[in-house]
Structure 1
Amino acid sequence: MVLPTRPCVGLLAALFSAAPLPGPVLAQTVGALPPGVEGEWLTARDRPALYTDIAAVPSRQSTMAAVEYVASSQIAAMASEPLALSTGSNLTQMSSNWVAATFYVGASRLARISDDRRTLRFLSAVADHYNYSLRGARSGKTMLNADDIAIGDLYEELYARRGQEGVLMPLRQRLDWQVPYLARADDTPALVWWWADALYMAPPVFARMTALTGDPKYLNAADKEWKRTAARLWVEDEKLFLRDERFKDDGHRQANGDRIYWSRANGWVMGGLARWLEALPADFASRGFYIDLFEKMAGRIAGLQQEDGLWRASLLNPSAYPEAETSGSVFYVYALAWGVNHGLLDRDIYLPHVLKGWAALNRHILPNGLVGAAQKTGDQPVSTAPQDVGLYVSGTYILAGLEVAALNDPIRSLPLAEPARD
């Protein structure tokens, strides 16, 4: 078996580098509808009162109102834009790329519990439009790209709810193709998941595939590559991840000479750990490794929260980019609340961090219903403007809100069951 060469980091960095994200204009009235777009998607919910107090856990009702508001605003923004033929570099439109897929992750969890069926109908339309397929078929190297696996979570969600075999077939075929590369010998020098973001995009999809099919090969292969990536990017002394191996080099350091620990990169990892652990069997041999890693990161991240409740783009050098930044912060609110809700983190210690962070996120919800101060697509800290938005922030805000709402409930044991059939 010949392993495809490592992707060109510089090329991918260029592909993912920021282009301005325009603030969407949400349609308040529905006239002639674009073909295939339901009118109900073009109007966001009314803006609710948003929680900005940290004295007590917000009620489930008020938290869910905020979650539904942001979700409907993001769907309206996506549905109001022309549908682009190419999905690769789209940053605001409905797409099958990682940017949109990370929104679908949150939206699909909301659709499990919401009485409003519009979100589920939107997600179903997205999956139908892309025929339950994935990007990246042009070469072996692109077929290994973790980013293109992210939308698989949506297909798995719809399969779990409906049991239609065709929904899962294209994804399973791609994962079957990837398994030998992920499960290869440990002495193979190239990483498949060579950047921290990949640990959010792909491993949870592999773990769910095992849960849905009963075939352990997906989980076992992902476990092997996860550990291989951690061995290269985890820095034990800092209890943090480097975004990728370039950031070990002297040429990729902060102005003061220190290593760069990017907030969103570590957010991807913590959020990915939460989703990964949800699907790991209770008796899985490596489960303790991931719980230990999650707890170490949680302790470190909690101590890096800033006075305003957010985390800065450069975790260990907050003064380098002192402005508010939500795309990393939203992952930490989600992950810390998730850890409390599943008994992995001490509620008395971590709840204040969650509430402070949740209030801060709500202060940055723009008049259009989207979360502002979101760092654009990229691979390291950069300056962020108050009006900057991102689908990945909207999706993770939903996940964070669902966990904040669940702070009103008893602790939930792991692993989580797949959703019941419709």
Structure 2
Amino acid sequence: MKYNSLLSFIAAGVLLTSCGSQKSTTASNEKIPAKKDVLEVMERTNNYFMQKWPDPGAPTFGGGKERSSNLWTRAVYYEGLMAMYAVDPKKEYHDYAVNWGESHKWGLRGGIETRHADNHCAGQTYIDLYEIDGKKNPERVKDIKESIDRMMATDKVDDWTWIDALQMAMPVYAKLGKLYNDPKYYERNYEMYAYTKNKQGVNGLYNPVDKLWWRDKDFVPPYKEPNGQDCYWSRGDGWVVAALVRTLDITPKSDPHYAEYLQDYKDLLSALPAIQRTDGLWNASLHDPTNFGGKEMTGSALFVYGMAYGINKGIIDRKVYLPIVLKAWDAIVKDCVQPNGFLGWVQGTGKEPKDGQPLSVSKEPDFEDYGLGCLLLAGSEVYKLK
């Protein structure tokens, strides 16, 4: 009897363990938001923006100054819109983006002579639309290609003096490399990236110890935050995450610099879990929560974008990063996305934690387009989670 009882006890234990394991797995799966729910958030926020800006070619007035809408803030929005279009290809998104490009005659702020990364950002969407529509409209890529070719006709590689520039311009070089099957674009992309990483501001803007990036030379030590730590700006490091994601997604794995991009991407992500806020977001100052600490959507969304991409591609540890992504996305949806589609807790333009402060759920930043772009990029990868 004792032997049979023991067998029954073991069998029951195995059954309970099996059921418990199944329940745990199911619970884990249930935490991944339904595709329709992710899409609803993207649609709600995007509809708010498109209704507010029915004419995509109209100038913007951020910061009280009129600017043409092919500036970087709007270009980042279109990056997000193209990512949304890739998972939900509605004609209205395509047409809205085409109308934007046509309104600017597919041109760049500063013209083809510009070397400024912000001015090149629009080229990302111009190239996307050229490819989406079957490469039948060469005018869409004429100016961006000529501008980059002019840069490459010189030996100058120190233009990207701030880390935001990596996101604005690196994907352009990668896209041109793929479009024309020409490795020279990939090589110049790396040369400029490597200069920013290793030489800009004397010894580079990347700190291999903390695995984070200083925004520009103004924040390289001896500059310190009020708590004595180095200053790492959330959205700035978010731009680097996005730059590496978008570059990795296009650059061939056979490229001699692909492995370095991948390692830099993994290293940067590895620095983020320990400094995630308890509510799921990240502070504007990554190493000093006392320096304008509080919710901030844009940097958080870019981190979600980078992590979700890595999970979807199988290049980072799903067990480590999925809980972080889900917690952050849930916080964005619950704390930042308003019922009418307005995005709260968006830090305005700037270069450091104090800019655009204080933030709130209802405060409208000087430009709201790039914030939406960040959210749509994040949503496009959260949507693909399995």
Which band: TM-score by shorter chain?
Answer: 0.7 to 0.9
Offset of 1:79 from its aligned partner?
A: 2.2
TM-score, normalising length from structure 1?
Answer: 0.77
Q: Which amino acid aligns with 1:236?
A: P
Please name the residue that 2:122 is paired with. 151
Higher mean C-alpha displacement, 272-281 vs 390-399: 390-399
Q: Partners of 2:300 and 2:68 in 1: how far apart? A: 24
Identity of matched residues, %: 28
Answer yes or no: is the 8 Å Cα contact 1:330–1:400 preserved in 2. yes
> Does residue 368 of the first structure (1) align with residue 345 of the second (2)?
no
Instruction: From the two aligned structures, give the one with the greater helix fraction.
Output: 2
Among 308, 328, 331, the residue aligned to 1:357: 328
> Does residue 122 of the first structure (1) align with residue 89 of the second (2)?
no
Q: Partners of 1:279 and 1:304 in 2: how far apart? A: 30
SS of the residue corresponding to residue 346 of structure 2 reads coil
Q: Partners of 1:92 and 1:271 in 2: how far apart? A: 28
Offset of 1:396 from its aligned partner?
A: 1.6
Structure 2, unaligned runs of 5 or more: 1-27, 199-203
Please name the residue that 1:392 is paired with. 370
Among 173, 182, 185, the residue aligned to 1:215: 182
Answer yes or no: is the 8 Å Cα contact 1:87–1:96 preserved in 2. no
Answer yes or no: is the 8 Å Cα contact 1:94–1:126 preserved in 2. no
Offset of 1:83 from its aligned partner?
A: 2.4
Higher mean C-alpha displacement, 215-224 vs 260-269: 215-224
Q: Deviations over 1:27-54 (max 9, x none)?
A: xxxxxxxxxxxxxxxxxxxxxxxxxx99
> Does residue 74 of the first structure (1) align with residue 64 of the second (2)?
no
Please name the residue that 2:193 is paired with. 226
TM-score, normalising length from structure 2?
Answer: 0.84
Among 166, 169, 192, the residue aligned to 1:199: 166
CA RMSD of aligned residues (A): 2.3
Answer yes or no: is the 8 Å Cα contact 2:57–2:104 preserved in 1. no
Please name the residue that 1:179 is paired with. 152
> Does residue 300 of the first structure (1) align with residue 278 of the second (2)?
no
Distance 1:373 1:80, change over 3 A: farther
Q: Partners of 1:81 and 1:216 in 2: how far apart? A: 34
Number of residue pairs matched by the alignment: 345
Offset of 1:184 from its aligned partner?
A: 4.3
Give the 5 Å matches for 1:27-46.
none
Distance 1:82 1:158, change over 3 A: closer
Q: Partners of 1:94 and 1:62 in 2: how far apart? A: 34
Q: Which amino acid aligns with 2:333?
A: N
> Does residue 244 of the first structure (1) align with residue 216 of the second (2)?
yes
> Does residue 102 of the first structure (1) align with residue 76 of the second (2)?
yes
Offset of 1:94 from its aligned partner?
A: 7.4
Higher mean C-alpha displacement, 93-102 vs 311-320: 93-102
Give the 5 Å matches for 1:314-333.
314-333=285-304
* Higher normalized contact order (CA 8 Å, seq sep 6+, divided by chain length): 1
Q: Partners of 1:306 and 1:331 in 2: how far apart? A: 15
Q: Partners of 1:406 and 1:81 in 2: how far apart? A: 28
> Does residue 112 of the first structure (1) align with residue 112 of the second (2)?
no
Q: Partners of 1:100 and 1:321 in 2: how far apart? A: 26
Give the 5 Å matches for 1:4-19.
none
